[in-house]
Amino acid sequence: MNKKVTVVGAGFVGATAAQRIVEKELADVVLLDIVDGLAHGKALDMMQSAAVESFETSIVGTTDYAETEQSDVIVITAGIARKPGMSRDDLLKTNAGIVGSVVEQTASRSPNAIIIVVSNPLDAMTYLAWKTSGFHPSKVIGMAGVLDSSRYARFISEAVGCSIKDVRAMVLGGHGDTMVPVPAYSTVNGVPITELLSSDIIEQINHRTRHGGAEIVQYLKTGSAYYAPSSSAVAMVSSILLDSKRLLPVCAYATGQYGIDGLYCGVPAILGQSGVESIVTVPLSPADAEALKQSAHSVKSLTDALSI
């Protein structure tokens, strides 16, 4: 029997994530959206590509939360997207109402599921999902660091002039302008980028990474990124369903690691079938440690604004 993943939100991020999950044959998918016919139509279209793409997993579209029962993983992408000039913080009030409702509807029907939050502002929405679900914090995770690190890796590859396959990048902290790219743990085939690039170039890359989402919003004008976010969410789904125990930077509940306590924030974590199996602590330079402290402070301010 196949695993079951529910993706809530049939917009660009949700639909693309659903497509990647079925094409990789990770699980059967329930794609849910409140807009009548949207999820149904996209699911039907995807299923009609099965013969060409050679996948045997299935996807169904629905507006009915009853169809999400007994999901192994719930991916929440629902919410409004950023528009030019809008920060992730601006999304707080509207998306808090949406994400809270989604979690109430899904968590009760899939009490053993692991929740992956993609909706922005990411760190605050992940905290909200945890509080609303009543789940153990290891079973509620935010998708942020995987995406930010993937963007960082792309920019590093371009600057060094090397294959992206040899780049491993690490970005910690909140998913926003205070995120913390960590050059010391960002490497090209094991060589730290501090040995390959000048400090000025690294700082330029760091700046572009912090504003990577906004750069795409400025180009699209009426939407935000979805190819890379969906890939990043599916990487987390894969590590959980396959119990791969990948070390990934994710938004996880910290209990003192890196000086962060009682807060969801971007940290390196092992992901397996039980969710966050452990948070990995590594020594940081004084500058990176201070930047992470400030990022966590920013996340806390936003989380406190939820008043939960």
- Active-site residue set: 175
Q: Return the number of other C-beta atoms located less than 10 Å from residue 100's C-beta.
A: 18
Q: Is the dihedral of CA 197, 199, 200, 206 positive or negative?
A: positive
Give yes or no for a contact between 126 and 264, defined as CB atoms under 8 angstroms apart: yes
Q: How far is CA 179 from CA 80, 162, 213, 236, 298, in A?
A: 22, 25, 12, 19, 10
Pairing of the two strands 140-142 and 180-181: unpaired
How many whole angstroms separate alpha carbon 296 and alpha carbon 257? 12
CA Rg, the chain, in Å? 19
Hey, what are 115's tokens?
A: 């929740």
> Closest by alpha carbon to 120, among 154, 83, 169?
83
Helices (H), the chain: 12-23, 38-47, 50-53, 92-107, 122-133, 145-160, 199-210, 212-220, 227-241, 286-304
How many whole angstroms separate alpha carbon 248 and alpha carbon 38? 32
